[in-house]
Structures are given as structure tokens and as C-alpha cells.
Chains A and B, each alone.
Chain A
Amino acid sequence: QKEVEQNSGPLSVPEGAIASLNCTYSDRGSQSFFWYRQYSGKSPELIMSIYSNGDKEDGRFTAQLNKASQYVSLLIRDSQPSDSATYLCAVRSNTGGFKTIFGAGTRLFVKA
């Protein structure tokens, strides 16, 4: 079992629709959860961070965390073609030393 798992996609949604991205993790000691966006050839760019159970909204983005289910998700409302990128889920913990584990990423295509 991978430490952080994401559907590789690609996920294709029409412009204006809601895109839903999911992530599961295995380390119950994980403390911090992040979503990054990465365009081809560029470095990851932070979208959201979340630390406690529930929802966190920032503009068109909503992150959801459920520690009991070891599940993190990202919703993108009113998806735009410029949202087309790879979305990376990252989990930080201090189990056996500090570490950050990334999923392999989900490729999102937003069709105009």
C-alpha cells in the first residue's frame, strides 16, 4: 500500500463544472495536509493547507479532511481551463522523524 494514494486520472470536466480530487493516506500520525497544483515543467504551487477535520474554503477551492477515514479531498468549483494541471496531495508527519509524502498526482483537464 502506498503511503499517499491518488487517482492518476486524467480527470476531465467541462468548464464551469465541479472537479473533485481525492487522496487517501496510511500514516495515522499525519498532522498536516496540503494540495499543490503543478503545471508541466514548473514546481508545485500551494493551493490549500488543512490541519483539522472538516471543510476549509478559499475562493473556488474547498479542502475536506476526515482523519478517521484517512481521507483528504479537494473540490474546485466553476472549473476554468487554466485549472488544467496536475494536482498533488501531500501529507506531513513526524512519525519516525519529520517527513512529507506526496501522492503521484491527478491530472485534471478542463474543457472549454
Chain B
Amino acid sequence: ETGVTQSPTHLIKTRGQQVTLRCSSQSGHNTVSWYQQALGQGPQFIFQYYREEENGRGNFPPRFSGLQFPNYSSELNVNALELDDSALYLCASSLGPAGTSTDTQYFGPGTRLTVL
């Protein structure tokens, strides 16, 4: 049990729709990262937020966007869904910035998104 929760557990959408996924970090964790994990692959880094500001982004198009709130919750929004967006979406929270012993990330259980 990492103390990181995600909702919903599963979600089915159709191509072209928009989706919002939610994450609640451990209390006090200022950094949250979102990942996309396709079947049989490692997690792919989407972006990272630190104190409500995006401070790192992977190779994902702008239709992937996020928000982080002061209450340690965050959202991942995906617009104009494509079939290839079907994956497990993971959020992970950590206490501090990279390069310190406080940047260990703890993962939530994930949201399984299926795009039809």
C-alpha cells in the first residue's frame, strides 16, 4: 500500500472523446508524475508536476495535459482519444526533486483505459 490512489480503475471511451484521470498523492508529496504503460512495455513518461507547475515532459503530444492541485491531487486529461491511447495510466508521487533520496516514486494502482 503506497498511499497513492487513482480513479477510476477502468474506463472505456470511443475514439475522439476526451478523458480525465485522477490521482491522489501521498500527503506532503510535492511531485507527481504520470506514465502510460502499453501491454508488454515499460511505463512511458508523460510529464511531471512540482508544486502545481509542469517541470518535465516526455514525448507526448499537447493533447495530453495535466493539472496538480494544492491538496496533493492531480489530473491527466487526454483530448481527441486515439485507439493507441489504450493503456494502463499510472501516477507516481515523490517527496522531493530528482537526485536526492527523497525523489523515490511510489505508484498508484493505475487506470486501465480502453479506446474503441
Interface positions of A (Cβ within 8 A of B): 4, 31-32, 34, 36, 42-46, 49, 51, 88, 90, 92-94, 97-105
Contact = CB atoms under 8 A, between A and B. Distances in A.
A88 B108 contact: no
A102 B104 contact: no
Contacts of A99: 45, 48, 56-58
Interface in B42-62: 42-45, 48, 50, 55-58
Contact of A97 (B55, B99, B103): B55
Interface size range on B against A: 20 to 34
Interface of B: 33, 35, 41-45, 48, 50, 55-58, 88, 90, 97-101, 103-110
Contact of A32 (B43, B56, B88, B99): B99
Contact of A100 (B41, B105, B108): B105
Given A92-B103, A104-B42, A98 B56 contact: yes
B37 to A, nearest CB: 9
